[in-house]
Amino acid sequence: MEISEGLDLSNIDSITQAEIDQNLVNVWRRRQPLYEVQANSLMLDYAPVFAKLHRWGSDLFGRPDPANIVLLAAQNMHSYMMTGWETGILNTFHTLTGAGMHKNQIMELVMFSQLYAGMRGLGHVYRAAGDLLPVLREAPGNFAVPEGWAPDPDAFRCGLDLTTRTLTDADRENLTGWYEKTIGYVPDSVLFSIKIHPEFAKVNRAKWEVAIRTLPKQFAPHLMLRHNMIIGSKEGMRESVILGKAWGITPALLSRSISATAFFFTGNEGLYEAHDALEDLL
């Protein structure tokens, strides 16, 4: 018998009241926002076979594996900021704190995601958790990550001269050189931003370089892949995967990130563009 969070997954076609009760107790035990209790209740009451299959799939990406919990929650923070789902943002603060991530580290994920979600995203974070942050328990900052993941703030830096707002010739050379050295080419998005608004290209890159300082550097391409898959940017997906591989993310983990996005956000149709963009890389 295979039991996952109270559900007997060796018997998909039937469910008992005891299974339903145990599943809801398991979810409530974490004392996080009630949305998962409510969502599970809908599935368990009206689509129990679907509920069991959903739990089966969820086991692939989050609980019970500690590293999977962190990786999924980090990507979810980005997605919830983008969509403005404040309940999900609050829940993710609880999840990552419970996994051992310090609140300052969680805020690194938030600031990296601000590059995409803008001030609107930060507004959602404040309404979700701003009042909680001053009293959020101080987690130790030790949390499970895949083997080889480690902080490396210098890996982000290309050598911009931040004493001037102007994109100098040296800045241009350093910026394009970083891409050529790290991923083997300069993305068209970078070249275009330099062409149309060089001052923007400089400050946007500078923000990208300082958002993640104490977290493993691999969180950057990990979040980038989620973002670009959801918006359907094939070139963005390729850049994310190539950077992820350059920084030591295994193809298996990159593939799991893609399938987790399909499972929780896009459905299988989200894999059409991922296939076109990434099949040769994975």
Residue 33 included in any domain: yes
Domain end call among 176, 196, 211: 211
Residue 25 included in any domain: yes
Residue 267 included in any domain: no
Distances (CA, A) of 71 to 114, 165, 177, 181: 18, 35, 30, 27
pLDDT of residue 87: 96
Residue 229 included in any domain: no
Domain end call among 94, 114, 148: 148
Virtual torsion, Cα 41, 42, 48, 49, nearest 10 deg: -130
Q: Average of pLDDT values for 164-175?
A: 98
Query: How far is Cα of residue 202 from the mean position of the Cα atoms in its chain?
Result: 25
What pTM was estimated for this model as a whole?
0.95
**What rounded mean pLDDT belongs to the chain?**
96
Kindly state whether residues 69 and 140 are assigned to the same domain.
yes
Residue 168 included in any domain: yes
Res 162 pLDDT > 70: yes
Res 257 pLDDT > 70: yes
Give the pLDDT band (50/70/90) at residue 1: low
- CA-based end-to-end distance of the chain: 34
What the block records as the tokens of 164 is: 């001037």
Beta strands in 113-175 (DSSP E): none
Kindly state whether residues 69 and 82 are assigned to the same domain.
yes
Question: What's the number of domains the chain is made of?
Answer: 3
Burial 75-88 (b: 16+ CB within 10 A, else e): bbbbbbbbeebbeb
Res 42 pLDDT > 80: yes
Range of the domain at 33: 3-58
Residue 233 included in any domain: no
Q: Average of pLDDT values for 111-135?
A: 97
Residue 23 included in any domain: yes
Which helix H or strand E contains 246, and what residues bound it?
helix 234-246
| Contact (CB, 8 A) for 60 and 256 | yes
pLDDT of residue 129: 97
**What span, in angstroms and rounded, lies between the C-alpha atoms of 143 and 69?**
10
Kindly state whether residues 77 and 107 are assigned to the same domain.
yes
pLDDT of residue 34: 87
Q: Average of pLDDT values for 36-55?
A: 96
Res 64 pLDDT > 90: no
Residue 226 included in any domain: no
Kindly state whether residues 68 and 144 are assigned to the same domain.
yes
